[in-house]
Amino acid sequence: MTKWTAQDIVDQQGRTFVVTGANSGLGAVTARALAGAGADVVLACRDVAKGEEVARPLGSRARVRKLDLADLDSVREFAAGIDSVDVLVNNAGVMAVPNRRTADGFEMQFGTNHLGHFALTGLLLDRITDRVVTMSSLMHRLGTIDLADPNYEHRSYRRWPAYGQSKLANLLFAYELDRRLAAAGSAVKSLAAHPGYASTGLQGHTDSVWDRVMGIGNLMAQSAEMGALPELYAATAADAVGGTFIGPDGPFEQRGYPKVVASNAKSRDRAVAAALWGESETLTGVTYEFES
């Protein structure tokens, strides 16, 4: 693909998108771009007030719904209020936070970034008509899926490996979902994307010295508008292929325009993906039902 930008988004009138974490950063940029292309956008936000600030200038095309991915009751309540959706963008996330637990007792990063989106996607799947886009990260390369202790109940917590595990889980999920959809003969597809190194609010919520370090690093980062391009391409481009990973085309995938990129061997391990899927269904209580 050649230098695809938000101006290349085709007319999205008549289509509905759900974007998680749309109250700030990449999610807010994505919601604005989709509404600007004519789409109806549901901003799925933990912070509803901030979501309303984003939605207000977008007019009737945007509406805000409460969604806390760190609380499965909230996920179920949100999903129950969605009638139909063409595209689900699993964008929200937390990064390198201290050792905390979700409302259901999961490690916060694995529980929010992976399990919350796994449950949300499964609960909405019978109403999704086109595709699911799940945001991962270059940091998936730091991750290893510990199926014996994914929630750090028995091992020492380390924030960056935990983040890497959650982002690797996002990729394993996106690829496995696409395989299962294809096997069921479904027309729905699943893709993954990553923003490179983009300046967003995500880097400022680690509650550690890393906030200051990454604040300095943000001076060299690309804008959130550029960082959102891979997920926008994955969510809207007619020629986007299921089971692919979209990221920036620049050096080391740090910045640039969308293209299909590679992910590491761990993310392509089908045995681990299947085992993670089973464990995710057990932990969330959400069992997927596939229809063609």
- Concerning whether 175 is annotated as a catalytic residue, the answer is no
Burial state string for 95-118 with b = 16 or more CB within 10 A and e = fewer than 16: bbbeeeebebebbbbbbbbbbbbb
Mapped onto helix, strand or coil, the DSSP state of residue 224 is helix
Ramachandran quadrant class, 290 (left: phi over 0; alpha: psi -120 to 50; beta: rest): beta
CA gyration radius for the chain? 17
Cα–Cα dist 203/215, whole Å: 7
Pick from 76, 8, 68: which is nearest to 37 by CA?
Answer: 8
**Using an 8 Å Cβ cutoff, are 227 and 195 in contact?**
yes
Distance of CA 182 to the CA centre of its chain: 21
Which one is catalytic: 152, 163, 175, 197? 163
Distance between CA atoms of 142 and 156, rounded to whole angstroms? 16
Q: What angle, rounded to 10 degrees, do the helices at 117-124 and 270-284 form? A: 80
CA distances in angstroms from 151 to 51, 65, 142, 163, 189, listed in the order given: 29, 28, 16, 11, 29
By three-state DSSP, how is residue 15 classified?
coil
Q: Could you give the residue numbers annotated as active site?
A: 163
